[in-house]
């Protein structure tokens, strides 16, 4: 499992909408959208070297303004030693930051 948190100056609802838009472009399937909690459950599919990974994205509103984005990635099966969980987390943030440009 790999996880990372980044902060953004934009409102949490704005960031969440952007994440919903860019997830497909970044190569993820959207498995579940939890609007009230600003949570996305994403996944990657099977490949020659992997059974796929699950990615969870949570966007929280910061008290002082802006938002905090939490992304974690883990293999779908425990014996998936070829899972690239760090790369999945980076892909989510790269897609979001590309959208912010």
pLDDT in tens, 57-80: 999 999 989 999 999 998 877 665
> pLDDT of 7-43, one tens digit each?
999 999 999 999 999 998 898 999 999 999 999 999 9
User: What is the pLDDT, as a whole number, of residue 86?
Assistant: 82
The span from the CA of 3 to the CA of 13, in Å, is 21
Q: Say how many domains are in the chain.
A: 1
**Which residues lie below 8 Å from residue 23, measured CB to CB, with a gap of 6+?**
30, 40, 42, 57, 92, 95
Domain span holding position 66: 2-100
Token pair for 1: 């499992």
Read off the CATH number of the domain in which 28 is found.
3.30.530.20
């Amino acid at each position: 499992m790999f996880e990372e948190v980044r902060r953004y100056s934009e409102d949490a609802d704005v960031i969440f909408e952007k994440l919903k838009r860019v997830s497909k472009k970044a190569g993820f399937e959207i498995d579940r959208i939890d609007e009230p909690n600003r949570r996305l459950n994403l996944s990657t599919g099977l490949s020659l070297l992997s059974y796929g990974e699950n990615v969870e994205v949570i966007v929280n509103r910061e008290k002082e303004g802006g938002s905090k984005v939490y992304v974690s990635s883990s293999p779908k099966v425990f014996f998936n030693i070829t899972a690239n969980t760090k790369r999945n987390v980076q892909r989510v943030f790269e897609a979001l930051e590309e959208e912010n440009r």
